[in-house]
Amino acid sequence: MEQLAPIAIFLFVLFLLLGSGVWVGLALVGVAFVGMELFTLRPAGDAMMTQMWRSSSSWSLTALPLFIWMGEILYRTRLSEDMFRGLAPWMGRLPGGLLHTNIVGCTVFAAVSGSSAATLTTVGKMTIPELRRRNYPDRMVIGTLAGAATLGLMIPPSLTMIVYGVTVNESITKLFMAGIVPGLLLAALFMGYVVLAALFSPDYRPDPEPRISLAEKLRASRFLVPVLLLIVVVIGSMYFGIATATEAAAFGVLGSLALAGAQGSLSLRNTIESLMGATRTSAMIALILAGAAFLSLAMGFTGIPRALATWIDTLALTRFELLMALLVFYIVLGCFLDGISAVVLTMAAVEPMIRQAGIDIIWFGIFIVLVVEMAQITPPIGFNLFVLQGMTGLEISTIARTAVPMFCVMVVMVFIMIAFPELATWLPENMIARPGG
């Protein structure tokens, strides 16, 4: 294969830069610059300037900082406390008890956050001390939170989906819609695991919850109304064609500001902190995307993506075999890179294979987000593990062991997605199109 030399050089430079501690975005720029200088006649500086500006000025990317800001605002409110007060009365009598608040709480916050780390931090800061106080097994408390927080990547609005949509030039709104049913199903599978673990674990002996009347449960549910309304505004406006993803993000920011104001947590200091947090995260992702766009251009000049797609085609892999190979590939890659970096780094080579194999690109977006979710809880770079370490003081290895059952549940979800692709494709295919756009 004549492209082996360029591939080897690209990988050598990439690992050299990453191993030296260079930021991922700058490492991608460095690899692309070397590739342009070695394998093309086009001036590298001109190509870098043009391609990075083009990728950074994409209109679809405007949704990214808005959704990040929405999550940053909500993170600084009393949302986690209100969610626990609203959910606990309904979860307490289920098999598994208040452990379900970890999963349902993460599912709810994921629908207004878009970030796995923000979901984990917001829900965990309330549920971890409460569940420990009620004598729930620590391995179950930490494990369910680690796994359920990954729903922040699957349930819209998802930052990873925005990045994937921009990278492959697909509708972000359709990707958001495609993630709803798989996200809810994955949450249900997590809850099923909690039920089984509670029934068969010998160390599961939490303090019993007092019986609460239906009227008291309904009164407690009022704490969930604001965030549920925010979810309806953001997701409903996209589904019914009222707003694009960017416009829905703007609605979400206004709604989160209103919610923070109603709770009395909207101060000048909190507003500035949320803006700075959103700016830092958005700049980091934008740099990674710009570097990936430049790298894609450099790889295109060498013909590597086309050659890889042709090579995969000669192997005569079935659709299932190709997906299994990509599943293993992304799980291994996720041990060393964060999810967004893994997506943008590989799409230039993977996208031609997927399209050539006839795999729906929207469906594959949900597949890759699901696999990236697994990377959030796999050492040594699993980001959720580091967040939980900071919250609990436990060793990374201990936290990783508690998350193993949730990782296995995600693997089961992958096979369900492959067997029933309509779970991801039905909703975007039947959503109401926005008039004129």
Q: What percent of the chain has pLDDT over 70?
A: 94
Residue 395 has what DSSP assignment? Answer: -
What is the DSSP code string of 91-151?
Answer: HTTSTTTTHHHHHHHHHHHHHHH--HHHHHHHHHHHHHHHHHHTT--HHHHHHHHHHHTTH
Higher pLDDT, 217 or 18: 217
Q: What is the predicted pLDDT for the residue at 414?
A: 93
Question: What is the token pair recorded at 228?
Answer: 């549920």
**Residue 335 backbone phi and psi in degrees, to 5:** -70, -15
402 pLDDT above the threshold of 70:
yes
Distance (Å, whole) CA 262 – CA 111: 20
355 pLDDT above the threshold of 50:
yes
Q: E strands within 2-66?
A: none
Q: Which of 17-26, 56-65, 210-219 has the highest mean pLDDT?
A: 210-219
The predicted-structure confidence for 312-339, as pLDDT tens digits, reads as follows 667 777 889 889 988 888 887 777 666 7
The predicted-structure confidence for 361-389, as pLDDT tens digits, reads as follows 999 999 999 988 887 788 766 777 877 88
Residue 378 has what DSSP assignment? Answer: S
Q: What is the predicted pLDDT for the residue at 436?
A: 42
305 pLDDT above the threshold of 70:
no
What mean pLDDT value characterizes the chain?
A: 83
Query: Given its phi and psi angles, is residue 135 left (phi above 0), alpha (psi -120 to 50 degrees) or beta?
Result: left
Mean pLDDT of 188-203: 88
The predicted-structure confidence for 137-195, as pLDDT tens digits, reads as follows 888 899 999 889 888 888 888 888 888 888 888 888 899 999 999 999 999 999 999 99
CA-closest candidate to residue 26, choices 282, 286, 212: 286
Sorted by sequence, the CB contacts under 8 Å of residue 37 that are 6+ apart come out as: 44
What is the DSSP code string of 172-224?
Answer: HHHHHHHHHHHHHHHHHHHHHHHHHHHHH-TT--PPPPPP--HHHHHHHGGGG
CA-closest candidate to residue 183, choices 423, 418, 421, 419: 423
